[in-house]
Structure 1
Amino acid sequence: MEDRRVVGEVRRGDDAEAFDELRPLLFTIAYEMLGSAADAEDVLQDSYLRWRETDPETVENTRGYLTQIVTRQSLNRLRSLRRRREDYMGAWLPEPIRMEHDASHDVLLAESVSMAMLLVLETLGPTERAVFVLSEVFGHSLVEVAGMIGKSDTTVRQIAHRAREHVRARRKRFQPDSDTSRAVISQFVRAADTGDVQTLMDVLAPDVVQISDGGGKVHAALRPISGAAQVANFLIRLARTSMADMRAEFGIFNALPAVLLRSADGRLDSVLMVELTNDRITTLYAVRNPDKLHSTDTVRTLRRDGDHR
């Protein structure tokens, strides 16, 4: 006999299937709202439980309804996260997510999950962030967004204008991963490993910045390091001491080429994401906080679209 659940007097057997079809989209929304894969997964779990309690006959558009649930759950979670991040030790970086190698074909999606954009979104208030993400990245009308977050159309238009201006003033140029950028990064890794200062200086932009996130749990620079000479010296000292026996691997994280550093016993020590402009390294994002490295082997499927039901 077919196994079907009953909610009230409504029989339903495809609630899990509908949710799973939209999971990549819903995860992407939650992650862009929170900057944390672990918290995004928690939001999806809570949202699924709410979805199971919903009478499906009252839902005209599954995608819109689930987007609303995930958005509101993310807003609640973000407000509590922001209070914790105020007390974070050292620089805070988003939790890195491993992406498929062909994910950068959607340039808007790739840019929206890049480290630079997530750090800009972090400077928005929770509601501003929700309005910007839903309208600018996922293409919802401001009328739809107003319904999703429970505010008037006029208020949402004002919030959207402020958020767009804020992001535009801070947005950095985004350069998708390419074969050339990977060649530059290979040269960079060899130079850091061998202590070749001149080659490092050749691949680093003059105003390069290194940001390290240790979360107070492992050694990391508490403040960003700026300038090619300063960054080069820091990397060489690091390579000679704590990184001396590390093995380097390559991957794609947050639509950026990345170097993964593992100890001799295979433990992941760091994910170093590399941002380039015109084939020069402009920013290095080093995530070392072990709490942010648990799911780095999981390849995330991200989407900006979903089934309309």
Structure 2
Amino acid sequence: MSTATDPVAAFEDHRPRLFGLAYRLLGSAQDAEDAVQDAWLRWSGADHGEIASPGAWLTTALTRLCLTRLTSARARRETYVGPWLPEPILTTDPPVGPAETAAQRESVSLALLVTLERLSPLERAVYVLREAFGHTHAEVAAILDVSEAHSRQLHTRARRHLAEAPADPLEADPAAWGALVERFLAAAREGEIAELEALLAADVAAWSDGGGRVSAARRPVRGRAEVARFLAGVFARFTTGLVGRVAEVNGEPALLALRDGELTSVLAVERNGAQVTGLRFVLNPEKLAFLAAQLSRSEALPGHSS
């Protein structure tokens, strides 16, 4: 390879893309970082002179490492307390993998990452490699060590399983979307049930992921009236002393809540048109650690409130 004299630089060139791939495959930023580290260990022990394409080699190694991790992750999630949600991450800087198309941007949304849990590990890998990273079926087949025909079958099955997934909200005007979020948050803070109901879709749902570590609803709350009452109660009881700010999380506007400078929750807001269709509260401290570190690195914690 052309970078054989500097394998460290070659790996670092690919690190952001590798993390983006691992995160989409695993739904966990911490697990994604661990997988990238495992890929580095394999890379550091490889014969780089025999590697024609570092990118292809690393993508293959990382994908196979993630497939192994997915199996054990699924077993853990079967005993998870309450709804399981992916770890939220800031997606403004640096970008998490390619983001040129709507499909690529949607591939990192919390809603789609949850929906990807419906797929088998191989289906998920094919879908992510094809839809988010633009690999051909020939490339996917080589990465997964399957035939091209099998890759196409897996892709078809994955798309069929995901057919009921929400439409991509990222094609909407970001300014209008942000304004809707601000209006929604104002109504929730003031406990204005009628205004909340006007903003919520009839089939809206709210999920809360506390992981058994903090107080959180252990079942989804569904329906306009039920979610409006739930939100009014949550904001009345738990927001005293909190500082809030809106940020782009997983490609969507979200509310970050901080107490004494520490991140305590992330609320991701999903919409269809002018109505809120889904609310995802991440409160599990373990799942907030990565995003909190991102905030700290970007010096975004001090002096930012919404």
- Alignment TM-score, normalising by the size of structure 2: 0.89
Instruction: Give the structure 2 partner of residue 305 of structure 1.
Output: none
Shift, 1:243, TM fit: 2.1
Residue 224 (str. 1) matches residue 220 (str. 2): yes
| 2:20 aligned residue (24, 28, 32) | 28
Q: Is the counterpart of residue 100 in structure 1 residue 92 in structure 2? A: yes
Q: Name the count of aligned residue pairs.
A: 288
Percent identity among equivalent residues?
42
Q: How does 1:156-305 map to 2 (within 5 A)?
A: 156-167=151-162, 169-176=163-170, 178-263=174-259, 265-297=260-292, 298=294
Give, in angstroms, the shift of residue 170 of structure 1. Answer: 2.2
How far apart are 1:54 and its partner, in Å? 1.0
Counterpart CA distance in 2 for 1:192 and 1:294 is 26
Give CA-to-partner distance per residue, 1:88-127, whole Å, 9 cap, x none.
0110000001111796653222100111111111110111
Q: Unaligned stretches of 5+ in structure 2?
A: 298-306
Taking the aligned partners of 2:28 and 2:47, their CA distance within structure 1 comes to 30
| TM superposition outliers: structure 1 runs of 4+ over 3 Å | 101-106
Q: For 2:137 and 2:238, locate their aligned partners in 1 and report how far apart those are by CA, in whole Å.
A: 50
The alpha-carbon distance between structure 1 residues 101 and 277, as it changes in their structure 2 partners (threshold 3 A), is farther
Q: Write the letter of the residue equivalent to 2:139.
A: E
SS of residue matched to 2:244: strand
For 1:60-71, list aligned pairs within 5 A.
60-71=52-63
C-alpha distance in 1 between matches for 2:140 and 2:287: 30
SS in 2 for 1:284: strand
CA, structure 1 residues 121+243, in 2 after alignment: closer, same or farther (shift >3 Å)? same
- Per-residue deviation, 1:266: 2.1
Residue 104 (structure 2) aligns with: 109
* Larger RCO (alpha carbons 8 Å, 6+ apart): 1
Please name the residue that 2:301 is paired with: none
TM-score normalised to structure 1 length: 0.88
Answer whether contact 1:120 1:170 (CA < 8 A) is retained: no
Check conservation: 1:99, 1:253, Cα contact below 8 A: yes
Instruction: Call closer, same or farther: CA 1:63–1:12 in 2, change over 3 Å.
Output: closer
Aligned-partner Cα distance in 2 for 1:101–1:19: 20
**Alpha-carbon distance, 1:36 to partner:** 0.4
SS of the counterpart of 2:87?
coil
CA distance in 2: counterparts of 1:48 and 1:172, whole angstroms: 36
Q: Distance in 2 between matches of 1:94 and 1:144?
A: 27
The 1-side partners of 2:58 and 2:94 are apart by 27
Q: RMSD of aligned C-alpha atoms? A: 1.9
1:55 aligns with 47
Shift of 1:63: 0.9
Conserved? CA contact 1:101–1:252, under 8 Å: no
